[in-house]
Structure 1
C-alpha cells in the first residue's frame, strides 16, 4: 500500500503543461484503467470484510456503516460497493473484467442494481443459465456504450418472468430533495420507464422552445431552467391542491425597510420553506406578486394583518402580454406564460405605478438580469421606432441582427 501511495504522489507531481494532447489522452486512459482496478480491489476487500464481519472490530455492525462513518461515503455509494461485492460472486467473468480495469464501477453497479438476491434465486429455480448472461454482460460492458448495458441486463429480468404481470410503477419511483446551507438545493429521482418518458417529454418541450439568442448554457443548465419553468407554470395555473387553507405559492418575508433600502444585502429575506435570500432577490420576486402587510409588535407578535394586494392585477397583465407578446429582453422570445411583469420603476422603492406604461414582460432569466444592472426601455417614438431596447450595465445598447458594413 505504501508503494501505491508513492506512485500516486509521483503522478500528482507530474507537470501536465509539458504534455501534448496525445500524451494527455494516453494518461487519461491509463488512469481510468487504474481507477477501475482499484475500485475492483476495494469491492473485493469490502466483500470479504462483510463476510467475516470485520466491521465489528471497530464496533460497527456492517461494512456499509463503516464506509459511511469512517470514510465519508454517502449512503448510496456505500450500499453500491457492498451490493457489487455480493453480486460479483455469481459473475466471475464480469469480476475478472473489473479486476483488469476493462469495466467501471458504474457498469458493475448497473448489473448489481438489477440482479437482486431474489432474481439470482429465481434463476436457479428456473434453470436460467446465469453463466451465459455473465458472458453477454461482460462483452457489452467491454465494448458498447454505458447505456446499452442496462438494456442487456433488463433482458435477464424479462427472461425470469416473461409473461408475469407488469410491476406497479409507483413502487419503482423515488424522488428526494435536499436544501443546502445557502438556500439552494439538489435532488435525485428514479422513475419507471413510462414515468421518465413523461417527465422527459415536458422538460424537452421547454428546452426546445424559443430560447434567447446567444444562450451559451450547457444542456444540464437548460434542463434545470426548464424544471423551474415547469414549476412556475404549475403554480401560476392555480390548479394545485391546497396546503392547509391556502394555495401553494412562493412565500417571502422581508422587513419593509430592507425592501426599500437598495444597500441591504444577503440573508435579508426568508422564504416559506426556510431559506434566506437577499433583498435584491426579494425585490425581483415582488415585481409580479401578491403582497401582504403585517404589522409586528416589539415582541415579534403580529398585531395587524392587512389585506393582500396583487401588485400586477390580471387586467394589467393581459394588456402587457397583448402589447409585448414575449420577453422583451434583446434576442429573447420566451412566451408570455414564462414571463413576469417587471416594473420599470420599482413599485415600492421608486413609487413606480402599476400601469401598462411602467410594465415590461421578462422571462425569469432576464428578469434577474434587469435586477442586476441591465435595463430595458421602451422607445415610444414614431414608427418604426416603437420597440424595446436593452442596455448593458455599462450603458451600451444591445443590438440584435446588426447589418454588416
Structure 2
C-alpha cells in the first residue's frame, strides 16, 4: 500500500508563526492540512495491519478500537470509525488509494465506503463500479462537497433501491445515540414514514405550550418542548409493568452514590449516619401492616411500636443503589483515581457522573438499596430494598392531588412522581 510521506512541504518547525509572511502563512496552513490527511491515511493503514497481525494477547484488548481509546486521545466512537475504515478499505483499493495519496478526505472516504459496502439492492455490479468511480472523482480535491456526494447516493438508492418507496423502506431506519464530552447525549435518527408518524403522534399532546397558572405564556422553544415530551414518554415507558426485561429485571435508571454525599450538600460527611438507618427504613416498609396509616409527607407507616434494628457503627462507605438495570460498564476505577474516594457526585452506568442535586431528585421517588462497602469499594453487606415513596403513600397522594400538584401542570397521576418536601435521608 503506497502512502505519500508527510512533512515534505512544511516550513521548518522552528519558525515562529508570527515571523511568517502572509504568503508563508497561507502556504504553511495548506501544507499542514495536506499532511494531516496523509497522517490520517497512515494511521488507518497501521490500524489495518494491527488488526490482522497483532495478537489479542499482545494488544491487551479484544480489538484495535479499545487499544486506540486507551493509548491515545481518541474517543471510542472515533476509534471505532478508524477501525471500520481500516477493515473496509482493504476491499476497495480504489478508495484506499485516493485516501493514501491525500486527494480525498477520510470523511468522504467513509461516505463512499458505506455506499460501496451496502449498495442499492437492484444496482448491477457493473453499475456499482461505475458509481463508485464517479463518486471518487467527485470527492477528489479541494472542490469536493459532501452534499453533492450525498445527493448522488440518494439518487442511486431511489432508482435502484428497494421495491418499497423510500419513505416506507424500514431497511433505511437508523438511530444514532452519541455521548458527548460534556456528559450530554446527541441523537440523530432516520425513520420510515410509519415510525415517524408514531413518534409525532406520541409527542403531539405533550408538546403543546403550557401557560403558567397566572397566564404567563410558555417560554420554551418548540425544540425544548419536544425534548421535554420525549423525556415524559421515557418516564411513562419505564413506569409500566409489561415492558421487556434485561438481565432478569425490567429496565430502569441505575444510580450509585455514597450515602454521605446524598445526605450532605455541603460536602461534609455525617459520621452518625450508618447503614442501619436505611436498613430500619427498609424493615419498616417491608413489615408494614396494610391497616397501618401512612405519613403522607414522610412516607413512613405510623406504628404504635416502630420496628427498629440495633444500630452498629461502621467505617465502611455506604452506597445507595436505585433498583438497577444492566448497562455498559464505565471505568469508575479511573474516575476514583482522579477524584479520590470522597467524590461528591452520583454515578450512572450509561452516562457516568451525575450531580448530587439531580441525584437527590432521583432518590426522592425510587427503589433504594443500601450497600455497605469497605475502603477498597468491595461490597460487605446488602440491605433490604425499600421505596422512598411507598405504594400506600402514592395512593394517598393520588387521592389528595388527583395528578401533578405543580401549578399549571395537569399531568395525570400515572405520569407523576412523588417528591418529598423534606428528604427522608436528611
CA contact (8 A) 2:6 2:38 kept: no
Q: Residues of 1 paired with 2:111 and 2:161: CA distance?
A: 20
Tell me how far apart the structure 1 counterparts of residues 225 and 27 of structure 2 sit (CA, whole Å): 33
Residue by residue over 1:259-307, the C-alpha shift from the partner in whole angstroms, topping out at 9 and shown as x without a partner, is 55444579953342474666543321244x25669899x9725469689
Aligned counterparts of 2:206 and 2:412: Cα–Cα separation in 1:
13
Tell me what 1:35 maps to. Answer: 36
CA drift at 1:150 = 3.1
The 3-state SS of whatever aligns with 2:321 is strand
Cα distance per residue 1:318-368 (max 9 Å; x no partner): 3654x61149xxxxxx9999976655x424367xxxxxxxxxxxxxxxxxx
Deviation at 1:135, TM superposition (A): 2.2
Partner of 1:128: 127
CA contact (8 A) 1:40 1:98 kept: yes
Give the deviation of 1:99 after TM superposition: 3.6
Instruction: Tell me how far apart the structure 1 counterparts of residues 145 and 415 of structure 2 sit (CA, whole Å).
Output: 37
Match of 1:346? 422
Displacement after TM superposition at 1:240 (Å):
3.3
Matched residue SS, 1:281: helix
Are 1:314 and 2:414 an aligned pair?
A: no
Residues in 1 aligned to 2:198 and 2:21: alpha-carbon distance in whole angstroms: 44
Alpha-carbon spacing, 1:238–1:76, altered in 2? closer, same or farther (3 Å) = same
Shift, 1:111, TM fit: 1.0
Work out whether 1:79 is the aligned partner of 2:80: no
Written as runs of structure 1 = structure 2, the 5 A alignment for 1:128-277 is 128=127, 130-131=129-130, 133-136=132-135, 138-139=137-138, 145-157=145-157, 163=163, 169=170, 193=192, 197=196, 201=200, 210=209, 213=219, 228-236=231-239, 240-241=243-244, 248-250=251-253, 260-264=263-267, 269-271=320-322, 272-273=324-325, 275=347
* Matches of 2:268 and 2:205, distance apart in 1: 33
2:361 to 258, 280, 284: 284
Give distance in 1, aligned partners of 2:255 and 2:64.
41
Distance 2:387 2:207 in 1: 43
Distance (Å, rounded) in 2 between the aligned partners of 1:136 and 1:97? 13
**Does structure 2 conserve the Cα–Cα contact (< 8 Å) formed by 1:107 and 1:141?**
no
| Separation in structure 2 between the aligned mates of residue 198 and residue 11 of structure 1, nearest angstrom | 60
Considering fraction of residues, name the structure with more helix: 1
**Contact kept in structure 2, 1:294 and 1:305, CA below 8 Å:** no
What is the Cα deviation at residue 69 of structure 1? 4.2
CA distance in 2, matches of 1:29, 1:223: 43
Q: Structure 1: any 5+ residue segments left out of the alignment?
A: 328-333, 351-405
**How much has 1:165 moved relative to structure 2?**
11
Residues 40-119 of structure 1 aligned to structure 2 (within 5 Å): 40=41, 45=45, 56=53, 69=67, 74-89=79-94, 96=98, 99-101=101-103, 103-116=104-117
Match of 1:359 in 2: none
SS at match of 1:4: coil
Q: Which moved more, 1:109-118 or 1:24-33?
A: 24-33
RMSD, aligned CA: 6.4
Q: Which of 31-40 and 194-203 deviates more?
A: 194-203
Deviations 1:99-139 (A, max 9, x none): 454x4211111110121288899744xx4373355225633
Aligned residues: 320
CA contact (8 A) 2:252 2:325 kept: no
Q: Which has the higher contact order (CA 8 A, sep 6+)?
A: 2
